Amino acid sequence: MNAPVSISDILNAEIQLIEGVNFELLYFHPYNSVMAFTEDLRTFLKSEIGSTLISFINTTDENNPDHHDHHRILTGDDLRPMHDEARRIIDDAVVSDVPLLASPGQIGLASLMVANETLLEAKQSQASIQFHKYIQHRFASDRKDHDIVNLLTQIDHVCSMLRLLKDGKFGCGNHAEDLEELKKIHKKLKACRAWGGGPSIEGGKKKKRKRDEPRG
């Protein structure tokens, strides 16, 4: 686990890797869709329909903390915290299994929804956006009703996956790491791997000699 990787190892592994991914190297990531959705929200929420979907929780009014101010006009900076939080969520999502389960656009939109929720819970943002209605308005023109319902359930599913990433679900290892457990697994791997000399087939003598060899 500790040894550096030599150049020849990297180059060999690279060829295997290219073959193993079926020579398809073009990938799309949710980062762009987060940016695009934020831009679109910024313009859409200023429009006549869009302005009803956003409400500002007035935190300065201590007597009535749940007072919603519908008349404030959205500024560009209102969406910035949500965008940044969404990018942080995506940093977790891209190293997990989520990109294999959902398309980049869905992950981007879902991360914005989760970011909006978490920021409201942490009281770091005042803008509360009704994403479901936003999706309905935005995608209603070219789809049928049941498609929209499908889309909403899909997005909600992606949202629930993204919320679990913090707990290390779906293969996200950014937050918690059990090194002891990993060392055990790595030790076990040494006895049953095909690379790096392969598993030892005989007793102690051979094993000892193998252990003395530098790992590369």
Q: Is residue 193 close enough to count as binding other proteins by CB under 8 A?
A: yes
CB of 80 to other proteins, least distance (A): 16
Q: Is residue 83 close enough to count as binding other proteins by CB under 8 A?
A: no
* x/- track of binding to other proteins for residues 173-192 (CB under 8 A): xx--x-x-xx--xx-xx-xx
CB of 165 to other proteins, least distance (A): 11
Joined tokens for residue 199: 């598993």
Annotate the chain with DSSP letters as a single string. --SPPPHHHHHHHHHHHHHHTTT------HHHHHHHHHHHHHHHTTSTTGGGSEEEE-SS-SS-TT-EE-SPPP-GGGGHHHHHHHHHHHHHHHTSSHHHHS-HHHHHHHHHHHHHHHHHHTT---EEE-HHHHHHHHHSTTS-HHHHHHHHHHHHHHHHHHHHGGGTGGG--SS---HHHHHHHHHHHHTS-SSTT----S-HHHHHHHHHSPP-
Q: Is residue 112 close enough to count as binding other proteins by CB under 8 A?
A: no
Q: Is residue 160 close enough to count as binding other proteins by CB under 8 A?
A: no
CB of 133 to other proteins, least distance (A): 22
CB of 83 to other proteins, least distance (A): 13
- Give the range of 22-30, 69-77, 114-122, 138-146 binding other proteins by CB under 8 A: 22-30
Q: Is residue 25 close enough to count as binding other proteins by CB under 8 A?
A: yes
Site of interaction with other proteins (CB under 8 A): 1-7, 9-14, 16-22, 24-27, 29, 31, 87, 90-91, 94-97, 99-103, 154, 168, 171-174, 177, 179, 181-182, 185-186, 188-189, 191-196, 198-199, 201-202
